[in-house]
Amino acid sequence: MEFPNPAKLHNQHVSLFAILSIATIVPNPAFATKECVFPAIFNFGDSNSDTGGLAASLIAPTPPYGETYFHRPAGRFSDGRLVIDFIGGVFASLMPKEEYFDKALYTFDIGQNDLGAGFFGNLTVQQVNATVPDIVNAFSKNIKVVQYPFWIFYCGVNLFIYCYYKFIILVIKDIYDLGARSFWIHNTGPIGCLPYILANFLSAERDAYGCAKTYNDIAQYFNHKLKEVVVQLRKDLPLAAITYVDIYSVKYSLFSHPKKYGFKLPLVACCGYGGEYNYSGSVGCGENIEGNGTEIFVGSCGRPSARVNWDGIHYTEAASKFIFDQISTGAFSETAIPLNMACHRSYTKSY
């Protein structure tokens, strides 16, 4: 999970997010297609795709979170809906039936938090980059369920990337053994374009669009290795339909060509305080700060629909809608598989 104030919250919560994410269940009775009917969606991911697990269990967002769509905080770390909401429908409120589990779509939205854990855990860029091969090696191993408590206890921030991939591969294989067949896996986005990275690592080399190049390079390396693992998973899980989605490219287009898609100031947080990127590690969106003897409320920019970034870490509803519109067509999956065909292995198979 990512948080509005990583300087305060990052270390104490990062090792819990994978577990809490399991609680993010979005039933989907309405979103169905002729080709693939997914009666439910089960999402595993950080706060970019968490619809309420974190809020219910640990820390709830306060106003102005949720102001665009729900008009109140609704468990999402955004001004409104997330990509998963557009896939699953925000009005689906019934828990899924038992028979839905083997017919559901299982989505994974991973990576940003894992890399961020290293960057904010006193690792150098080189050290974070060096952990990626270990992640991939761990990904190929089948760990038993009884090991959960051990590596949750053992993993500090510095080892979390390695351990998280162990967790994910275990989850995929376990739910596959229980009958899950359709998997929709997002790679990680351009973390070097996010205000919380830009504001905290001012000396990092910038690319032509103002993003921190080295941090994006690591994200792309992460994605390259993740794709290799997906290919191996297809071999290990012969009945599964596994779609790898290049969400990095979609998100990066918002930073490289914002005006083309109706956005502005993509590197600046809509809801934040201070500096070039309107982001501070000491005060976050919805909090109060003392200034000149008065208390200042950290609110939104007033027009989130024209902005890419919400609070320095997460995307706005408008950006999430744009991302969904792009990936649902299949234009950013390696076999051009649209969402409504993601249950068919013959379409997702790619070696």
Are 137 and 169 in contact, with CB atoms under 8 Å apart?
Answer: no
Are 76 and 82 in contact, with CB atoms under 8 Å apart?
Answer: yes
**How many angstroms separate the Cα of 10 from the Cα of each of 39, 255, 276, 301?**
35, 25, 22, 25
Q: Burial letters for 110-134: b for 16+ Cβ neighbours within 10 Å, e otherwise?
A: bbbbbbbbbbbbebebeebbebbee
- Please report where in the chains the tokens 């896939």 appear, as a residue: 87
What is the token pair recorded at 22? 């399991």
Given the residues 50, 311, 320, 328, the one annotated as active site: 311
Given the residues 78, 114, 314, 333, the one annotated as active site: 314
Given the residues 10, 13, 15, 47, the one annotated as active site: 47
Residue 314 appears among annotated catalytic residues? yes
DSSP state of 110: -
Question: Which stretches of the chain are assigned E, i.e. beta strand?
Answer: 25-27, 40-45, 105-109, 182-186, 241-245, 288-291, 294-297
What is the token pair recorded at 33? 């297609």
End-to-end CA distance of the chain: 32
List active site positions.
47, 311, 314
